A and B are shown apart, each in its own frame.
Chain A
């Protein structure tokens, strides 16, 4: 879409674009280009010399069992977060859509975790599951269980997954609810007259009609789990124990910023870049289709 009426001025448009473009160039494009460049160089630890090594950094990366392990963990983590957050939000949205009285109050009370920072969400769950003073480990011990996410890798993973999913429920809930409210009532009523109960109406009408929303949310949730959960991991487990929660973004930060492995960290950056680009393309292609829907 283009404007028919435009202004003419030889300098003004460039001046208006300058701040955005300068920030973009200095803090986005230049560093990203540097990361691309470093990913094909091998630098000595003191930064004194570097030499061109083609794709050695990538070969090394994908031969590194720790990295492959982190890749798998990230995939599992993202899928679990997306699944838990989407399923519980969808269930709550179905109920909220059905509630006649108090719908607004329910909505308000369910959306505010969106405003909680991921790292803060991590601290909340850390308190609940603290092995020495937390409430849930106490209850678990009462039932003969044992909880210590500082030593048990799968428990640590479960904890960060819960914290990450908890924070994302409100976002998904809002979009599911909006999606459901856009479905024409007449469809639902027609099905009800034909004798379809609530469960059947959901699976044959509501769920299929929600599929664009669901698909969009899957992409958003995976992006969230990949990138925005850094704060949760950093606050609760720091990637541990023994790398059990070392997801890709945490690893790239840890290897590069703490471990100062320039080439390896740059190669990791480039892999992450490829993942974001793929996800963004998927997201935008979907949005084009939504227009026709």
Chain B
């Protein structure tokens, strides 16, 4: 703040509070909707204060949010969230693991096809799932990975951004460390494990936060390759609940599931804000 003008300060805070209110409003309405009976919701106007049905609605969403369909059993948001968790952790862990070793090979070794490998990894940046929908589906189907955790995770774990980030991190590590390690008789794997990994701890954590959110929020991929109700992720589950055709959608249950679906990633962002911001700015470099 350069000058001290009272009205300007007040104006600043009013604008920010208004901005926060607008950003938070859709979520507030969703939460309110998740705490009423359907009967209260469809009556005009929709209530604006939380009701008393929250516990019931959330229990039902967790137990059997997606009701029985033709030949399928009811499935709850609990199971779907577990699937989302497996997918998010698998993608985050997998991407970090294969990218950090790839970056290590590219930075600390000289070998034939080093630049070729680098460019091959770079190309993945230009090929998001959206531009190769059918052929990728076919590959996964041929490998028998439809409706499996492997199918949800493995096709998404190649990562150019993560590899580049670790490359940057490793390039900034002083050469003296590698020299000292070599003189002390440490081999390449020992050096990686005992020196590089501990040095990259914060970067790994920051990347993990971003990738966890990325994995949890995947949509197109799980939409294509999961069909079995047991394998639905929670984001896809919500979509299935909405698609009820002519029946009345159970909005209170859908909204409870929606709140549950955004809780884990939002909590991660808020509780690990510093790592989150670091991860976001570093992966975009």
Residues of A near B191 (CB, < 8 A) are 7
Decide if A133 is an interface residue (CB 8 Å cutoff).
yes
The winner among B12, B13, B191, B266 for most chain A CB atoms within 10 A is B12
Residues of A near B156 (CB, < 8 A) are 27
- The contact string, 1 if C-beta is below 8 Å from chain A, for chain B 173-212, is 0010011001000011101000000000000000000000
Q: Interface size on B (CB < 8 Å)?
A: 106
Decide if B58 is an interface residue (CB 8 Å cutoff).
no
Interface residue from B3, B26, B140 paired with A192 (Cβ < 8 Å): B3
Contact A117 B217 (CB under 8 A): yes
Residues of A near B27 (CB, < 8 A) are 124
What is the CA–CA distance of A138 and B178 in the complex, to the nearest angstrom?
A: 67
- The contact string, 1 if C-beta is below 8 Å from chain B, for chain A 96-135, is 1011101000111111111111111101111110001111
What is the CA–CA distance of A79 and B265 in the complex, to the nearest angstrom?
A: 28
Where the two chains meet, the residues of B that have a C-beta atom closer than 8 Å to any C-beta of A are 1-3, 8-9, 12-13, 15-16, 19-20, 23-27, 29-30, 33, 41-42, 44-46, 48, 97-99, 101-102, 104-111, 114, 117, 120-121, 123-128, 130-140, 154-159, 163, 170-171, 175, 178-179, 182, 187-189, 191, 213, 216-217, 219-220, 223-224, 235-236, 238-239, 242, 251, 254-255, 258, 261-262, 265-266, 268-270, 273, 276-277, 280-281, 284-285
Chain B residue with Cβ nearest A102: B13
Contact B19 A95 (CB under 8 A): yes
What is the CA–CA distance of A112 and B269 in the complex, to the nearest angstrom?
A: 6
Contact A115 B213 (CB under 8 A): yes
Contact B135 A38 (CB under 8 A): yes
Separation in Å of the B166 CB from the closest CB of chain A?
A: 11
What is the CA–CA distance of A125 and B27 in the complex, to the nearest angstrom?
A: 9
Chain B residue with Cβ nearest A192: B2
Question: What is the total of A-B residue contacts with beta carbons within 8 Å?
Answer: 296
Contact A272 B139 (CB under 8 A): no
Contact B19 A92 (CB under 8 A): yes
Separation in Å of the A217 CB from the closest CB of chain B?
A: 10
Residues of B near A116 (CB, < 8 A) are 217, 262, 265-266
Residues of A near B235 (CB, < 8 A) are 117, 119-120, 231
Q: Could you list 9 examples of A-B contacts with CB < 8 Å?
A: A3-B178, A7-B182, A31-B136, A95-B15, A96-B16, A117-B219, A121-B26, A270-B131, A273-B126
Residues of A near B3 (CB, < 8 A) are 192
